Amino acid sequence: MKHSNGLAVIAIAALALSACNNASKNESTANAENTNAQDSVTACSSYLDKKYFEDTADGKPTDLYVLKNSNGACVAITNYGGRIVSIVVPDKNGKPTDVAVGFKTLREYQGPGDAYYGALVGRVGNRIAKGKFILDGKTYTIAVNNGPNSLHGGIKGFQAVVWDATQANDSTLSLSYVSKDGEEGFPGNLTVHVTYTLGGDNSIKINYAATTDKKTVVNLTNHTYFNLNGEGSGTILNHLVQINADKYTPVDATLIPTGKLDPVAGTPFDFTKPTAIGARIDTAANQQLKNGGGYDHNFVLNDAGPSLHQAAEVTGDQSGIVMDVFTTEPGMQFYIGNFMSGKSSFKSGANDNYRTAFCMETQHFPDAPNQKTFPSIVLEPGKAYNTTTVYKFGVKK
C-alpha cells in the first residue's frame, strides 16, 4: 500500500510537472509566435505596432497580419474591413517605401477621419442612385450616405465589418465574411471569401469569391489609396498614369453615370499614353472634371475577364516605383483623393492632405443595378462570383 501510494505520489508529481512543462512550453511558443509576429510587423513598417490592432469589434477579434517575401516587399493587413494598412516595396535606389496610406490604429479606422482607406468594399462598391434598385419587380432600399445616393454598400459596408482571418503562410491571408440576408438592405445571405497573396515578384493578388442563397447584387473592390513616392511625400499630381481605356462613363453632378460610354480621345480623360495626373486637371471648361471635383470616374477597360488583363500603369515621379494593375473586371474607378480633408494623420504622421493619394478601384460600373446597358452585377444562387485583381510593383530607373 505504502509502496503503491508512494508510486501514485510520484506519478501525480510527474504528471503535474509535465503538464506544467507543457503549459510553459505552450506559453513560450505563444510568446515566441507573438514576438515573431510583432518583429514581422515592425520589420515591415516602423510606423506600425500590432498591439494597436489587437482588439475586438462586434465581439470578434481584430488583428494585424503581415505578408512578406524575400524580394524586399511586405504588406500589412487588418481583418477589420480587410484593410491594407501598409505596402512596403523598394524604390529605384532600393529604399523600402510605404506606398499605401493608412492609419496606425484600429480606432482611427473606426473614426470619422476614415475614407475607406485600404478597405474591402461591398456588398456593392461605388454608387447606387438614390439608394434604390429593383430586382425581380421588388424595390430594395440601401441607406443614402453620399449626397442623394448610396455609396460603397451603405452605412456599415464591408469596410467596417470584422472578417474571419486565416494566415496559412507568409504569402497568403484568407478572409471570410457572411453578409446576412437584409444586411444594409441587400437580399440574400452572401458568403464572401477574399484572398490576399503576396507574390515573389512583388505583386499583390486579390481574389474575390462569393455565393448567395437568394438573387442579389454584388460588386466587390479594394479601396487602397496609393502614393508611389511614399506615404507623406505630398501631391500625387506628378505621378505618370496610363489607363488602358478608350472610353469612360461620364457622370452627373452627384457622380451617377449618365449611362453613356464616352470616348476619352481629345479630353482630359485620355490616359492611353503615360500622362501626369495633374497635367490637365485644371481644364476649366471640362464639366466632367467639375462634376467629379477632379478625376473620380469609372474607366471602361478595353479588355475584361475571364483572364487577367492590364488595366493601368502608374509611376511615382520621385521614387521610380511602378505599379501595374491587372484585373478581370470591366471597369476601374480612378479617384485622386479630391475629398481628402487634411484633418487626420496617417501612420507616418503626415496629414491626409488633398490629393496626396489615389485609388484604382477595379470593379463593375457604378450604379449597375439601375443601368440596363451596363454589365450586370446580379448574382444568382448556384452561381459563383469570382474576380481577381493584381497590383504589381517594380521600378523604373
296 binds ligand BGC (CB under 6 A): yes
78 binds ligand BGC (CB under 6 A): no
Provide the residue type at 211 as one letter.
T
CA distance 385 to 323: 26
Q: Which is nearer to ligand BGC, 167 or 356 (CB)?
A: 356
- The region that residue 58 occupies, defined by phi over 0 for left and psi between -120 and 50 for alpha, beta otherwise, is left
Q: Which is nearer to ligand BGC, 255 or 256 (CB)?
A: 255
Q: What is the DSSP letter of 365?
A: P
Binding-site member from 65, 186, 326, 335 for ligand BGC (CB under 6 A)? 335
The grid coordinates listed for 367 are: 450604379
352 binds ligand BGC (CB under 6 A): no
Decide: helix, strand or coil at residue 104: coil
115 binds ligand BGC (CB under 6 A): yes
From the candidates 152, 223, 239, 297, which is the catalytic residue?
A: 223
Shortest spacing between CB 255 and ligand BGC, in angstroms: 6
CA distance 63 to 48: 12
From the candidates 183, 184, 313, 361, which is the catalytic residue?
A: 361
Instruction: Indicate if 27 belongs to the active site.
Output: no
Q: What are phi and psi of 246, to 5 degrees?
A: -90, -10
CA distance 342 to 140: 36
Q: Which is nearer to ligand BGC, 49 or 262 (CB)?
A: 262
Q: Which is nearer to ligand BGC, 165 or 245 (CB)?
A: 245
Closest CA to 208 of 193, 223, 229: 193
Binding-site member from 219, 249, 333, 388 for ligand BGC (CB under 6 A)? 333
With a CB cutoff of 8 Å and minimum separation 6, the contacts of 124 are: 142, 152, 153, 186, 217, 218, 219, 368, 369, 377
Binding-site member from 53, 65, 80, 116 for ligand BGC (CB under 6 A)? 116
Q: Which residues bind ligand BGC (CB under 6 A)?
A: 115-116, 126, 255, 296, 333, 335, 339, 361
Enumerate the active-site residues: 223, 361
